[in-house]
Amino acid sequence: MKTEKLDWLANNPFYTKQFAYYVGRKCRGMTVTDVAKELKLDWETVKTLDKEYMEKQLYRNPVAAPRVIGIDEISLRKRHVYRIVVSDLERRKPIWFGGKDRSEDSLDIFYRWLGVKKIKKIRLAVMDMWKAFEKSTKKNASQSAILYDKFHVMRHLGEALDTVRKMEYARLSGKDRSYIKGQKYTLLSNRENLTIDGRKALKKLLIANKRLNTAYLLKESFGQLWSYQTEGWARRFFDNWKESLKWQRLEPYEKFTEMIEKHWDGIAAYSRPENKVSLGFVEGLNNKIRVIQRRAYGLRDEEYLRLKILTCMLPEI
């Protein structure tokens, strides 16, 4: 007996492709559970139709040779289970999700997948200061420049500021300590993101603690590093910033400057005009991925998570 294949049917023969794509469009902004309730469908059916929709999106949007890539890792679970996400920063979309961890070998898998011909087109790789990513990139795409992501660098400085906060909390007692308690978010957030009460609490904290005030101002000023148009001016700014640490007894900041010195070439690369890429996209993508994970899009099904990430910036079909 011969079975005829009907092009208009979805992989699930009970539904048309048109309906599968309708379900897929719904799932871009809603959880599988909510779509299943609204359409009175089984949860697994909705997920299967959504997968078909996303696979079609990827088919219609093949990966072109990227010139600027962003490399980052995401944590799947709390027990340090990592996967790597690589994005095309010029076309502003993720192009690869995979690996077994965040090792050099795992990133090598991406380069093998991309192929020698497309690798040759890469001129810039944006990443955090993780040695494994740098080693894999230098080995597989030696012609590309390496740029360390501003947001990751600033995150390290934020961690140094938080360490100063903890040290001050341990050093003080009584009323002096009360200004610091519970103010981690207030201290580490961008001032513009704080509520009026948050700004008042921050002001009170910085007036009450001179060392935290100094550390906070140094952190805020460091972001200026990425505004310079030449490496010489960027270096002069960093040397002056480093000089201002003298006599401040801010050991976490001194460790931070040592880290910056070790990775200076990858940070100074941003001052070159040809490397002025939108670093905010990587941070925005990370936020989007966190939303996908919070919505529990079948997180235990890694292939489903992969499809969600790779299609989150693609147009609807």
Average pLDDT over residues 220-229: 93
**pLDDT grade, residue 108 (50/70/90)?**
very high
Q: Higher pLDDT residue, 176 or 77?
A: 176
Among left, alpha and beta (phi > 0; psi -120 to 50; other), residue 298 is left
Burial group, residue 94, by CB count within 10 angstroms (0-12, 13-18, 19+): buried
**pLDDT grade, residue 182 (50/70/90)?**
confident
pLDDT at position 295 over 90: no
Across all residues in the chain, what is the average pLDDT?
A: 90
Measured CA to CA, the distance from residue 273 to residue 258 in angstroms comes to: 26
pLDDT at position 8 over 80: no
DSSP run (H or E) holding 125: strand 124-127
Measured CA to CA, the distance from residue 97 to residue 288 in angstroms comes to: 14
| pLDDT reported for residue 158 | 95
